[in-house]
Structure 1
């Protein structure tokens, strides 16, 4: 059996595109920068591709949910041919591969599960699952997931709250690597033509898509006509319903929708904006997560208007960089927008305070050190990884 290299990491996703912010721009590049050899597998996607030292890119075709099992075959074969000692994966479905790999190689390899969400809670709001089935599917997945976690040597939590749902065995190492932003490029002086509200992320109902459209409608009713709502991200809901809402409420000149774009290109749009929006629905998964958008807005010196979840309220109040509101109260949200629009001094002050909080508390630099430390710990301590059936 070939000797595997402790400094080589096989990082993969069968779901995310290669340019995913957390996986590529934060984790893969941080590890490569620290001298680890990263073999990176993720879905192909248009965009400017880079040549990064120590980072070897492999692109998978986009497949339907029913066909994604084909990616698992490709990834398993690629790992078997690789010299990497570390199998770092980002999707729950790849837990099946982790078990196969551990059964075959035992302690000669390390499997690391990068947990982006608490899956059982997230399934309760997945639109592609019939509503009446969701509780059963969630409970079933919870049982299956906990079984497969026995074959994982380390779990990386993207949110502190996730670990409350898991009791790991002593052989499993855990670390919180929170999804905070990287230091943004230097802010340039850009003067947009209209007062601009921005949201960046997946566009679905439970992530506040129609709450933001209702906010735009409320602004028009209050006599505000010189504003733009810029929505950046893929649409995962009925597009006809969106178009119908915009046309019925005469919002054609106020809504700009752009598709998913590379992380480095998002900042230009932030700098052209005045307020960052995060009007998520109070689903179990959203209530227990710290949305990355909050911290990106802070890094871009944007005051924030977000859902009135306890953690969101605490974060924004401590930094004095935004307001929270009931996401289903478009009139209240519109009043806050008007308040910030009219008080430019207060708006700028909030933006500056948010940036200071980002620098001190919410920067990726601190999180990258924990990620690198996980692999350095594997090397130095030669952790005993447990006994596998």
Structure 2
């Protein structure tokens, strides 16, 4: 059987893109897939044919190299011909595996690497430009040698036009959902799921909750995802100060099947990203997940986001750093159930016809077939 090794030293094993979409799709297509990734708050208990999941304990940044060395030895000794890597930090390993160990390496790009690197800081200082140039140069040199690059966003390719490696777009669209008949929460519910960070609107969401309560609205805000300790402390203090313990719930990380049910029972989805380089042109996956369950949403007012809303009539754009503006739009939606339904129905129609995983799964399988045929 055709063997594939999928590896991530950053993402948990049950990451939506890595496990639920790509690993399962490849296993269903007849590949024998082994996934190595980080442990999660969920234990792997699925019985999926052709799919084995192995987890590693998380380590400190200082000990990250030990994980890399472990991954390298696993991949080097593996009988798998195709190695599918998901993190920039694993790219040097992929380069060595391709050049010296004759593996076929697929590199899966989840983020705009140059933009992410530019936003990083070392000891509170931006990374020096000479280092940025060196890092992007080395990245391209290594990508030139792998078998294929998979992009999670179309615009990522613009940085790699001078790289001749096979390039394929595989977007983070959700699985095709049947119409959801689940009853909504009795209390009007706002929901956010994903990475938790200041630049992803965490503090703005709390401020919106404060403003809604101040103006007399009954509601609940569900924030789903792993919350960093500093933000958990911030949220706890904020909830106590403004008496929001009943309205705001930090749910923690959920598996995909659980998350979909939370979405389906909610009334408005949130995606309040700040205008940083890595977000300005990258549509958040959660928007397509909201569409899949007919959930209207409030979204940052960036150009590509605005175009999506104009095209689909499924949400509302706002200045994500102005809680009063966000609150006003939420109030208008909460006061107008017909408008909620109109936006939600439009989103679901576009989910059925365009924004679902079946369209992307074909691209992934075709890429693997072409790599296998060229072996």
- Tell whether the structures are fold-level matches, with TM greater than 0.5: yes
C-alpha RMSD of the superposition: 1.8
Q: TM-score, normalised by structure 2?
A: 0.94
| C-alpha distance in structure 1 between counterparts of 2:35 and 2:182, whole Å | 36
Q: What does residue range 2-21 of structure 1 map to in structure 2 within 5 Å?
A: 7-21=2-16
Partner of residue 233, structure 2: 240
Matched, 1:55 2:55: no
| C-alpha distance in structure 1 between counterparts of 2:106 and 2:13, whole Å | 18
Q: 1:345 to 1:202 in 2, by over 3 A?
A: same
Partner of residue 191, structure 1: 184
Tell me the matched-pair count.
372
Contact kept, 8 Å, 1:202 with 1:236, in 2: the verdict is no
Partner of residue 37, structure 1: 32
Q: 1:124 to 1:247 in 2, by over 3 A?
A: farther
Deviations along 1:43-99, one digit per CA (max 9) or x if unpaired, are 122325212111122111111122121122222222232211111100111111112
Q: What does residue range 145-224 of structure 1 map to in structure 2 within 5 Å?
A: 145-170=139-164, 172-184=165-177, 187-224=180-217
Q: 1:168 to 1:42 in 2, by over 3 A?
A: farther
**Per the alignment, in what secondary structure is the counterpart of residue 206 of structure 1?**
helix
**Per the alignment, in what secondary structure is the counterpart of residue 213 of structure 1?**
helix
Partner of residue 292, structure 2: 299
| C-alpha distance in structure 2 between counterparts of 1:357 and 1:17, whole Å | 30
Contact kept, 8 Å, 1:203 with 1:237, in 2: the verdict is no
Matched, 1:336 2:312: no
Contact kept, 8 Å, 1:307 with 1:327, in 2: the verdict is yes
| C-alpha distance in structure 2 between counterparts of 1:371 and 1:330, whole Å | 40
Partner of residue 255, structure 2: 262
**Per the alignment, in what secondary structure is the counterpart of residue 126 of structure 2?**
helix
Q: 1:129 to 1:273 in 2, by over 3 A?
A: farther
Partner of residue 135, structure 2: 141
| C-alpha distance in structure 1 between counterparts of 2:78 and 2:16, whole Å | 25
Partner of residue 229, structure 1: 221
Task: Structure 2: give runs of 5+ residues left out of the alignment.
Answer: none
| Further displaced range: 133-142 or 24-33 | 133-142
